[in-house]
Amino acid sequence: MRISIWPGAAQPWTDVLEVSRHAADTGWHGVWIADHFMPNAGAGFDPHHPVLEAGSLVAALGAAVPRVRIGTLVYGNTYRHPAVLANMAATADQISGGRFTLGVGAGWQINEHAQYGLELPPTKQLIDRFVEALQVLRGLLRDPETTFDGTHYQLTDAVCEPKPVQDPLPILIGAKGEKRMLRVVAEHADMWNAWGTPDLIAHKSAVLDRHCADVGRDPASIQRTAQATTVVDGPLPEGLSTPVIGGSPAKLADTIAEYRAIGLDELIIPDGRLGATVAEKRKAMDVILGLAGQ
């Protein structure tokens, strides 16, 4: 099982860079970046807290950090036309020398859409648009020309050059909805991602397997990735909307072993609870690699 780090984009660029370089220097598999422009609205969130833009970050990391895979968790489809995103992804792959993973999702954060005047349609239309975007992305990234006549996107003899270094560039889909979104994963993804503890990820993965059977897809052809808020040594935070793991090195080691036992391909560790300073985060990262046996 691979172990990757997720530096939060709501910290200074120098901190993101230092955490990512430490990952590259010490044997972590990859570095993942979330696609948001501001904190999610709600109690305890500062609406003016700065957040770095994901596309710029992954391109910069691709140039500044060697060896590790670099990817997005995940680009919100409603923020960019898929043709624009395809060109961004191909460029990031060129800059990184073929180390980029294109993570995409349907889009969800309400306050970003409201502030920027971006449409956030009802769920069915949101997913319909996302499915079309996936077809556009795949065509532009893999075919010489793409013509597409959809309800939401129309392309005519469209090109995306240069192509990615990787052939094909892997597409990861972030999804948790069991009825439709995991079927979209079965139909279109090279990789799947979701938040969850081992029991939840095992359940969702089994649902994905059933969708793969329905569409005639080998479930082993889709890599499984997951993350949870991680505490190496300390009290677990309460009231979070995300799952939490750890609390002590022993508990964290047991949970990492559980992820491995359910067949997870990659465990992604957000760095938000690993320490207040980069030095503390580096120390926690070293402990995590040791607990994972890497």
Mean pLDDT of 84-111: 98
Mean pLDDT of 77-104: 98
The maximal CA–CA distance of the chain, rounded, in angstroms, is 56
* Per-residue pLDDT reduced to its tens digit, 206-253: 999 999 999 999 999 999 999 999 999 999 998 898 999 999 999 999
Residues 87-122 as b/e (b if ≥16 CB within 10 A, e otherwise) read: bbbbbbbbbbeebbbbbbbbbebebbbeeeeeebee
Mean pLDDT of 72-100: 98
Question: What pLDDT is attached to residue 43?
Answer: 65
User: What's this model's pTM, rounded to 2 decimal places?
Assistant: 0.97
Model confidence band, residue 78 (pLDDT cutoffs 50, 70, 90): very high
**Interacting residues of 36 by C-beta distance below 8 A, sequence separation 6+:** 9, 51, 54, 76, 109, 112
CATH superfamily of 2-291: Luciferase-like domain (3.20.20.30)
Question: What pLDDT is attached to residue 239?
Answer: 86
Cis peptide before 12 (omega within 30 of 0): no
**Contact (CB, 8 A) for 251 and 213:** no
* Per-residue pLDDT reduced to its tens digit, 171-195: 999 999 999 999 999 999 999 999 9
Q: Domain coordinates of the chain in residue numbers?
A: 2-291
